[in-house]
Amino acid sequence: MYSALGKFESSMVVYKRAIGVLESKHGKSSIFLVSPLLGMAKILGSIGRVKKAIEVYHRSIAILESSKGVESEDLVVPLFGLGNLLMKEGRTTDSEIHFNRILSIYRKLYGENDGRVGMALCSLAHAKCSTGNVEEAIDLYRKGLQLIKDTNYIALDDSIMEKMRIDLAELLHVVGRRGSSVQDRQ
């Protein structure tokens, strides 16, 4: 609630208290800590305390890995949050590691032909574009969007789908190419 109201310091106090209570009751590596840790990491990133936010994301990832395994789907949320924070901070090469890991998790759990894989491909494409790897980004966007469309994972008129198509169109425009295949028909 405090976060939604922009009262980040109050939000931090509540998260710290919740974490303290849960640590005393369940231990410092309890799975119950993950949710408040993720909330705290998001707040820390929002108020510019990036180094601390990264530490908190890593702690939540370590807890999940030790309790659920290194290929658990539960890792996607903290990996995505950390990847986005690193991108925002201009550390795009570091962010690629986390988006690649999400892609790997989804491929292992759901196979190559799942809409979640398409979403992960588009997230990775965004990171690749930011690192200047334009051709690979274009290829990843196209594959991801086609997979999402083929699996009906997201409605074609969904705002997320629209943003990904716009990102690809802008990228194609910057490199002076016209889009083809599924993106022209969407």
As a dihedral over the C-alpha atoms of residue 5, residue 19, residue 33, residue 56, rounded to 10 degrees, the angle is: 70
User: What is the distance between the alpha carbons of residues 50 and 174, in angstroms, rounded to a whole number?
Assistant: 31
Q: Is the pLDDT of residue 6 over 70?
A: yes
**Residues 162, 183 contacting (CB under 8 angstroms):** no
- pLDDT 10s digits, 99-110: 999 999 999 999
Q: pLDDT tens across 133-165, in order?
A: 999 999 999 999 999 999 999 888 888 889 899
Higher pLDDT, 3 or 172: 172
pTM: 0.86
| 35 φ, ψ (degrees, to nearest 5) | -60, -50
Which of the four pLDDT bands, split at 50, 70 and 90, describes residue 178? low
Position 181 pLDDT exceeds 60: no
Mean pLDDT for the stretch of residues 72-88: 96
Which residues contact residue 142 at a Cβ distance below 8 angstroms, ignoring those fewer than 6 apart? Answer: 168, 181, 182, 183
Given a cut of 60, whether residue 8 has pLDDT beyond it is yes
Average pLDDT of span 11-27: 94
| Paired tokens of 135 | 């051709």
Q: What is the pLDDT of residue 185?
A: 41
